[in-house]
Amino acid sequence: MISSDKIFGIFFFFQICIGLMGNFLLFILYMYVFLILPHKKKPTDVILTHLTFANTLTLVCRGVPNILLSFGISPKMGDIGCKAVLYIQRVTRSISLYTTSLQSIFQAVTITLSNSKWVWLKLKISTFIQPSLLFSWIINMVIYSEIILRNVANRNITDARSGYYAAYCKTDSPHHHIVATFLSAIFTRDLFLLSLMACSSIYMVNILFRHLKTAQRVRSTTQSSQGSPEIKATKLILMLVSCFVFFYWINAFLTVYLFTVRKNSWQLESFGNYIASCYPSICPFLLIKNENRISRINYIKTRIRIFSF
């Protein structure tokens, strides 16, 4: 009889494998466009490349330790390994949040009507993308440096305490009020970015609704408007935002619960990691499904093979 832990490990294994495959294919696509087809490069490719890289690191650092634990293998990380894994987990999670928020804001500005007061930003926003991404990496790496100071390897799996706890890592002598203050600051930051996502999403839905009403009045433009790149991109961003927010709040409630209760469980922590890995696993396939350059690249390769014979 297979135990529930091993069943969970199998699900986690397939989730990580599928997610890594999707992110790897997407990353190869962006590198191909950057190096071979630079004329097809889009401003959002830089954002999505960072998102794909962060998602890949998230899947590896969250998935591998929990898969090993599910099959009864305790990863011997040591203090350095514990700090590195937790540090990468937290930084990449924040990068994923920031890039999704930035992508939604960029798309909202892109579809801004020509008579809007934000039209001036439409012409300049592309120049802000790379500096803002670099700033995001730096600030998150600085913020989460406290993990390097506070966490150590868990050498006694039965040592349950308040604060962060996992089967391979734990908080070393936590000061509850300091940890609570830090988590409150992080939650406030996350709430601000989620609010930006919500505002930009509401704005995009409003634009789509007005666009649909205009298309219904002008019958001749209906087909072309429904298939326009801007409308497709907007619908994609709305799907990404909805997906991210859904899994974020589930994981947030689990994190708060694990922090507040006295009796901690690595099974709950693993389930929280599974939920946190859902968005990085689903995200690349949503992007690939709406990536029309893939079919064009395959068409070009097919034509090359035909003419080479």
**Residue 309's pLDDT band (cuts 50, 70, 90):** very low
**Residue 134's pLDDT band (cuts 50, 70, 90):** very high
Minimum mean pLDDT range among 91-100, 132-141, 150-159, 285-294: 150-159
How far is 169 from 273, CA to CA, in rounded Å? 14
**Residue 281's pLDDT band (cuts 50, 70, 90):** very high
Domains defined along the chain, listed by start: 4-154+176-218+227-307 (1.20.1070.10)
**Residue 176's pLDDT band (cuts 50, 70, 90):** low
Alpha-carbon distances of 49 from 119, 298, 308, rounded to whole Å:
26, 21, 33
Quick one: 101 exposed, middle or buried, by C-beta within 10 A (0-12, 13-18, 19+)? Answer: buried
How far is 264 from 195, CA to CA, in rounded Å? 31
pTM of the entire predicted model? 0.82
How far is 225 from 223, CA to CA, in rounded Å? 6
Give start and end residues of each alpha helix (H) in the chain.
4-35, 44-70, 78-110, 119-143, 146-150, 176-217, 222-226, 229-260, 266-276, 278-289, 293-308
DSSP string of 177-196, one letter each residue:
HHHHHHHHHHHHHHHHHHHH
pLDDT tens per residue across span 16-51: 999 999 999 888 888 888 888 788 788 888 998 999
Percent of the chain with pLDDT over 90: 19
**Chain position carrying tokens 């600051």:** 185
**Residue 172's pLDDT band (cuts 50, 70, 90):** low
Q: Which residue has the higher pLDDT, 89 or 235?
A: 89
Residue 300 has pLDDT above 50, yes or no: no
Quick one: 127 exposed, middle or buried, by C-beta within 10 A (0-12, 13-18, 19+)? Answer: exposed
Minimum mean pLDDT range among 94-108, 122-136, 169-183: 169-183
Q: What angle do CA 121, 97, 211 make, to 5 degrees?
A: 45
